[in-house]
Amino acid sequence: MSRDKITPQEKIEIRILLETGLSQRQVPRLSNVSQKCIFGISKKLKQNLPLSNSVQQGRKKQQR
């Protein structure tokens, strides 16, 4: 199961939709992304974090 990458431009569009007053349930219908993704972006906005991905984000690779 792979995760789709969301471009920085899409994140900016989602941010604009959230700031205009649309709910977290309305935005996924307009932008064709999951509600979980919208929740994550909204959470970053509330904490004043950058929308870009962190360098060490994701599951760590196992070393053999």
Give the chain's radius of gyration (CA, Å).
13
Domain segments of the chain: what residues?
A: 8-46
Which tokens in the block code for residue 22? Answer: 């649309």
Q: Could you tell me the pTM of the whole model?
A: 0.70
Which tokens in the block code for residue 41? Answer: 């972006």
| Rounded (10°) CA dihedral 17, 32, 51, 21 | 20
In tens digits, the chain (64 residues) has pLDDT values of 445 678 888 989 999 999 999 998 999 998 889 999 899 889 888 888 877 766 666 777 788 7
